[in-house]
Amino acid sequence: MDDGRRKSGGLVLATLLVLLTQGARSQDLPLAAQSAALVDSYSGEFLYTKNPDAKEYPASSTKILTALIVIEAGNLDQIVTVAPEDTKVEPSSLNLKPGQQFTRRQLLFGMLLKSANDVAMCLARDNAGSVPAFAEKMNLRAAELGATSSHFVNPHGLHDPDHYTTAHDLVLIARAAMQQPLFRQIVSTIYYTWRTPTGQVEELRNHNRLLRHFAGCNGLKTGYTRPAQQVLVSSALRGGHEVISVVLHTDKPGIWVDSKTLLTYGLIKLGCPAEDIVDTTDRVDEPGNADEGK
């Protein structure tokens, strides 16, 4: 992002703070995303929506639901052996090899921080026996949460025209996941050391740049495929208030600016003083392009 785009992002947030202190309405929010939603994490109250029921592709934010199902199943220190079929997915992966063994807990860290599609496949097969069987669980759990306009066919979010969600549904799924302590721990982790059974080490870094650039951010999950464009589910905790936002189908600068806008709006709306929300670290334009499945 050039200096002009960076300054523009800062100006949007500064303008938002002025609007909020003057009693702005939610429809005044300057968002680029096609769809968005914002909820109070504790009460479940919707604080903002934009095209909340529009059909969108979730990309790797799918992994929020995958993780929720695995965590709810429990026994997270159980050893899982990688099967050949787990490795037949591209492109974002941890290069799992058939026969390798990891705990479910390790695999959850790898899936959510690296956004590894092979790890998602491994967890799905371990949980349900096959990807189709796991997809059935995904759709059932989503419906139980009220996410009735979504349909899932895989655990990772690589594009399939029959794999879709809405901003409304995705924020409900994210809120349920954030009620799980292990999930909260993982999505707020910036760095994690991934160790293979043969002793190889890889330092994983969370793709969610807001963890480093928005004070109080404590999650959640990025996503990208060409049809989905950029996706970000994010959360922030300040002053005893927690909000969760969903931004769907926008460009790379947009996910960061829109998400900061929503988080700021929600926290102030819930009672956090505006002066405590001002964030001077608008640079989220770190090197690197989004990859499919992240």
> Cα–Cα distance between 202 and 45 in angstroms, integer?
40
Spot the catalytic one: 61, 92, 93, 115: 115
> Cα–Cα distance between 173 and 141 in angstroms, integer?
9
Spot the catalytic one: 35, 50, 61, 63: 63
> Cα–Cα distance between 244 and 203 in angstroms, integer?
27
CB 50 within 8 A of CB 167: yes
Is 63 a known active-site residue?
yes
Nearest Cα residue to 167 out of 223, 235, 246, 231: 246
Q: The tokens 């929020």 sit on which residue?
A: 64
Spot the catalytic one: 60, 61, 93, 235: 60
Give every strand in the sheet of 217-225, ordered side by side.
Answer: 46-50, 35-40, 241-250, 229-238, 217-225
Q: Active-site residue numbers?
A: 60, 63, 115
